[in-house]
A and B are shown apart, each in its own frame.
Chain A
Amino acid sequence: MFELSETPGDGQMSKAPGDNAFLSVRDLKVHFSTSDGIVKATDGLTFELERGKTLGIVGESGSGKSVSSSAIMGLHRGTNAILGGEILLEGVDLLKVSDEEMRKRRGREVAMIFQDPLSAMHPYYTVGNQIMEAYQVHNDVTKREARKRAIEMLDRVGIPQPDRRVDDYPHQFSGGMRQRAMIAMGLINNPSLLIADEPTTALDVTVQAQILDLLQDLQRDFDAAVIIITHDLGVVAEMADDVLVMYAGRAVEYGPCKEILTHPQMPYTWGLLSSVPDLTASTEAKLLPIRGNPPSLLNPLPGCAFEPRCDHVAKVGGDLCRTTLPDLTPATSGGNHTKRCHIKNADEVYEAEILPEIAPDLVED
C-alpha cells in the first residue's frame, strides 16, 4: 500500500552516516526578502520525526510554524523566499530536488491539511471533484476509478452516505465534514508524512475531538508520520509524541511531549502553559497572558528573542539575556529534552514559581 521502496528520483542523496530518521530537518532557514530588509521567518530549525510518530509544533502567530511546514511541502518555490539548511525525507533533501520532482512528491508522499477547510476548498468545485483531482494528479486512472476511490476515502473519514455527498459543494458540508473531506483529500495517496496546520482551530470543540480522534486512527492505519501545528496545548497533549515550541522563528524548547508538558524549562513555554484556562479553577481566577507582543522578525534582537517579555531575566546574571542568544542545550532533566534559555536552574524555578500558579493541586503532592 505504501510506496516505501520507491527510489528517489533526481533528488540528491545526502544521507549523513548514522542518520536513519524518516524526516530530518536540519538548520532550516526560511527568509523573505522584503523592501524593508530580510525577514527571518524561520531560522535554524532542527528536528526529527519517525514514521507513526507525531510531532506537535507549538507557538503563537508569526512564530514560524506554518512557514516551516510550507517549506517541507515545497510551497515556497516560486516565491521570493530564501531557503537554507536541509529537509531530509528518507534521506532525500527536499530542498535540492527539482521543482517537478517536488511537485510529484507533494500530495503523494507529503500531504497537508489546512486550518480553515472552507477557504481551503475551492467553492466552485464539488468536494468529490477536488478529492478526485488529488488522486488523478498522481495516479493514471479513469475518472470513474478516481471517483470510486474518493467515495472510499469519504467513507473512511466518516462522511455518511459518501456516494451522495461526493457530489456536494464545500458550502453544503458542515465545518467538521469539510475538515474530514480535507483529511480524505490529504490521505488519498497514502502519504508517508502528513502535515496538519491547525486542523481544528476553525472547528467547535466537540468536532475538534472527533477530528483529532480520526487523525489518530488514520495515522495508526497508514503508519504515517504526522506534524501537527497548533497553538492549543490541549491538542498537543492528546496527539503529540514530541513537542517543538517555536518562538520568533526558532525552536526554544524541544523534547518528548510528556517531558515538555510536565517539566518545561523555558519561560515562553511556561507562559503558554499559564495562559491555558483551567476548568477546575475558581471563576475568579485570572488567565495569565504573556505580556507584550511578538518581536519583529525584521530586526531580531542580538540576545534572546523572548527577553523583552520574560519575567525571569533577573535570574540570569548581568546582560546575558540581552546580548547573547542562548543555544539550544540539553535540559537539566536530560533525555532528548533541549531548551534555549540562560536560566541555569530552570527546573527549580518552574517547581517553585510557575507550578503553584498554574496547578496548585499538583504542588502539594
Chain B
Amino acid sequence: MFGYIVRRLMTAFLVVVLVSMVTFTLFFKGPSDPASALCEETGGRCTAAELNSIREQMGLNDGLVVNYSRFVKGLFVDREMYYQGEQMCEAPCFGISYGSRQPVTPQFVEKWPATVSLAVGAVLLYVIIGMTLGSLAARFRGSFFDRAVVGVATVITAVPYYVLALVAWIVLVLQLSIFPETGYHPFTDSPVLWASGLLLPWVVLAFAYAPANMRYMRGYMVESLGEDYIRTARAKGMSQQGVVFKHGLRAAIVPMTTIVGLEFAVLLAGTVFTEFLFEIDGIGWWSINSLGNPIDFPVLNITGTAAAVLIVLGNLIVDLLYAVLDPRVRLA
C-alpha cells in the first residue's frame, strides 16, 4: 500500500511537471509579449532599443530553457525579478503579476479560500440533494416521483449553466431580493456574512450539478438493487428500507465517490463563470481576468499549476478511497 502511494505520487508529480512545462512553453512561444506592453505603457513611444533593454532586464532574451530553470529555481529559493524595477519574489515564486505588479503566490494564498468556500458548500449541497433524490428515485423506480425527478433533472441539464446562473442572479437578487448580495467575506471575519454572500452561488452550483449526480446515483442504485445480494438480503427477512438503504446504497456509493471526487477537484481549481458573475474574488475570476493584453502569465501559471495539482491529487485520493470502500480492491 505504501509503495503504491509512493509510486502514484511520483507519477502525479511527473504529470504536474509536464503540465507546467507545456504551459510555460506555450506562453513563451506564444504571441503575447509582456515586454512590449510594458514598453508602450512607460514611454508612450517604444523604440526597438527600449524594447530590447526591457526584454534584456526581464530575462526574456535568454531563451525558454534558461527561463524555465529560473522559474523552477524560484520555486525553492527567493528570486529577484525585474518588472518596472527590481522586486523580491519569495519562494515559492511563480512570478510577479503584470497587472498588479505584486508576486502572485501571496495573492493566490489570499484568493484561494474564496474558491474553496464556494466549492465545499456547493459540493455538500448537491451531493446531499443529488444522492437523496437519486436513491429515492431508484427505490420507487417507475413511480410518478421517479418520473418527475428524472424529468425535472433533464430540463435543468438542458439549460446552459451561464443562463441558469444569470437568470438566478437577476431574478433572485436584483428583482426579488430573496437572496442577499453575493460576494466573498472571510469566514474568520464574519461567518454570517460569509454564508450569506455565498448562499446563492452555492444554490446555483448545486442546482446545476445535482441533476447529473442524481442521474448517476439513480443509475448505480438501480443497478445495485438488481444484484443477487439484494435478493439474499430480502430472503433474510430484512425490511425493504434496510435492503435498499443499507445493501443497495452501500454498493452505489462506491462509483459515486469517483464522480464526486473528481468534480470536487475541478471546483476547487476555480469556477470561472460563477466567481465572475457573483463577484467572488477567487482564483477562477482571477485567472479569467488575467487574459488581457498582455496575458498575465504568472497568474495563469499559478492557477494552472494549482488546477493540475488538484486534479492529479483528486484522482489519487479517489483511487485510495476506492481501496477503503471496496474490500476487493486490495493493493499489494
B239 near A: Cβ within 8 Å?
Answer: yes
Query: How far, in whole Å, are A119 and B231 apart by their CA atoms in the complex?
Result: 10
Least CB separation from B227: chain A residue = A119
Contacts of A106 in B (CB 8 A): 234-237
Q: Is the CB of A122 within 8 A of B250?
A: yes
Query: How far, in whole Å, are A290 and B326 apart by their CA atoms in the complex?
Result: 44
From the candidates B232, B238, B240, B326, name the one contacting A114 in the complex (CB within 8 A): B232
B327 near A: Cβ within 8 Å?
Answer: yes
Q: Is the CB of B237 within 8 A of A103?
A: yes
Distance in Å from the Cβ of A192 to the closest Cβ of chain B? 14
Q: Which of chain A's residues 76-117 have a Cβ closer than 8 Å to chain B?
A: 78, 103-108, 111-112, 114, 116
B116 near A: Cβ within 8 Å?
Answer: no
Least CB separation from B247: chain A residue = A122
Least CB separation from A75: chain B residue = B234
Query: How far, in whole Å, are A125 and B236 apart by their CA atoms in the complex?
Result: 15
Given contacts A78-B240, A169-B327, A171-B328, contact A122 B251 (CB under 8 A): yes
Q: Mark B277-296, 1 if CB is under 8 A from A, else 0.
A: 00000000000000000000
Given contacts A122-B229, A123-B328, contact A112 B235 (CB under 8 A): yes
Q: Is the CB of A169 within 8 A of B328?
A: yes
Distance in Å from the Cβ of B242 to the closest Cβ of chain A? 8
Q: Is the CB of A119 within 8 A of B228?
A: yes
A133 near B: Cβ within 8 Å?
Answer: yes
Q: Which of chain B's residues 64-88 have a Cβ closer than 8 Å to chain A?
A: none
Q: Is the CB of A124 within 8 A of B327?
A: yes
Contacts of B240 in A (CB 8 A): 78
Given contacts A119-B229, A124-B325, A169-B328, contact A185 B251 (CB under 8 A): no
Query: How far, in whole Å, are A108 and B232 apart by their CA atoms in the complex?
Result: 13
Least CB separation from A138: chain B residue = B237
B254 near A: Cβ within 8 Å?
Answer: yes
Contacts of B237 in A (CB 8 A): 103-108, 134, 137-138
Distance in Å from the Cβ of A242 to the closest Cβ of chain B? 23
Query: How far, in whole Å, are A73 and B227 apart by their CA atoms in the complex?
Result: 17
Contacts of A130 in B (CB 8 A): 232
Contacts of B325 in A (CB 8 A): 124
Query: How far, in whole Å, are A169 and B325 apart by their CA atoms in the complex?
Result: 12
A183 near B: Cβ within 8 Å?
Answer: no
Distance in Å from the Cβ of B251 to the closest Cβ of chain A? 6
Contacts of B229 in A (CB 8 A): 119-123
Contacts of B242 in A (CB 8 A): 137
Question: Can you give 17 A-B contacts (C-beta < 8 A)?
Answer: A75-B234, A103-B238, A106-B234, A106-B235, A107-B236, A107-B237, A107-B238, A112-B235, A114-B232, A119-B229, A122-B247, A123-B327, A124-B327, A125-B247, A134-B237, A137-B237, A169-B327
Interface residues of B (CB under 8 A from A): 227-229, 231-240, 242, 247, 250-251, 254, 325-328
Interface residues of A (CB under 8 A from B): 73, 75, 78, 103-108, 111-112, 114, 116, 119-126, 130, 133-134, 137-138, 169, 171, 182, 185
Closest 8 CB pairs of A and B: A107-B237, A106-B237, A119-B228, A107-B236, A122-B229, A134-B236, A169-B327, A120-B228
